[in-house]
Amino acid sequence: MIGLPFVYTVTGLLFGFYALLSAWDRRPGNAGFWGLMALSFLLGDRIGDIGNGVLALGLVAIAGAGLMRPARAMQDGVAPRGDALFVPVLIVPAAALGGTILARARPDWLDPQQATLVALVAGVLVALGVACLWLRPRPETPFREGLRLMDSVGWAVVLPQMLVSLGAIFALSGVGTVVGTLLGMVIPEGSLIGAAIVYGVGMALFTIVMGNAFAAFPVMMAAVGLPLLIHGHHGNAAAISAIGMLSGFCGTLLTPMAANFNIVPAALLELRNRNGVVRAQMATALPLLAVNIALMIWLAF
């Protein structure tokens, strides 16, 4: 059965190629960063918790010391192909959809719980093969261009994983319980509307601080969602969870901490104001947060 090990292996090998190319270009900081990323995907389940912790500290040390430098751009000379270039791109979502359907029909082939992710990676490999056979670039060009993009993103590529881990640590350390006790002093006793507002706004605020809704979710769910909305008011758990995440995504639109969404695009587009993306999204995020809270009250109870 094909599952997450396939995804981790492909991703680890890709980061390994990036590390080798960076070393060839005499950029030791980049080589070290991508090498550690490759190690985490290929051997993360074998080096143990302490090993993974040391690995994470190594990533932070390289990024914090500013040792990563941008990659050079390449000129491969591939002739323009117009809108037909979207054909390889469309292979990826088609493969993801097909893999999900296949997993239902043949659960012995693909892990049903990871079918979409496995099919997505397989689709990327197929699309890459089709593009190479069609465009005939130099063998190293796809990896060079991928490395150039990854180096443009830099350390922010690992930020979502770091923040999700932080959310798990908060949940295990009982931060949600402490926050729930404090918020219980603010929410009027027995107030459904008050609990829903605090839950939705709290998801957005925690996301703004932590940079990731997945990190904020376990805290606010333990603090308000589970004890008050689900157990206290007998709300629909699926609706409360889903709309809570949507409220958190409103916070994502409002924070530079969500670097991969808000800072990286500003850097790639060479905007003068690095917070320009955040400012442009405020007019959407705030009304959308209010709508999410209203929908939660309407749909979940």
- Identify the bridge partners of residue 110 per DSSP, sorted by sequence position: 2
Q: Which amino acid is at 133?
A: L
Q: How far apart are CA 273 and CA 24, in angstroms?
A: 34
pTM assigned to the model: 0.72
Among 76-80, 157-161, 174-178, 231-235, name the one with the lowest average pLDDT: 76-80
The tokens describing 168, both together, are: 């798990």
Residue 16 has pLDDT above 90, yes or no: yes
- Identify the bridge partners of residue 2 per DSSP, sorted by sequence position: 110
Higher pLDDT, 153 or 241: 241
- Counting residues of the chain whose pLDDT is more than 90, the rounded percentage is 36
Residue 1 has pLDDT above 80, yes or no: no
pLDDT recorded at residue 37? 94
Residues belonging to the chain:
301
pLDDT recorded at residue 199? 94
Residue 35 has pLDDT above 90, yes or no: yes
Which residue in the block uniquely carries the two structure tokens 């931060």?
A: 175
Residues 300/236, Cβ–Cβ less than 8 Å: yes
Residue 80 has pLDDT above 70, yes or no: no
pLDDT recorded at residue 77? 56
Q: How far apart are CA 10 and CA 42, in angstroms?
A: 9
Average pLDDT over residues 226-245: 92
- Note the pLDDT tens digit of each residue in 162-206: 777 777 777 777 777 788 788 878 888 888 999 999 999 999 998
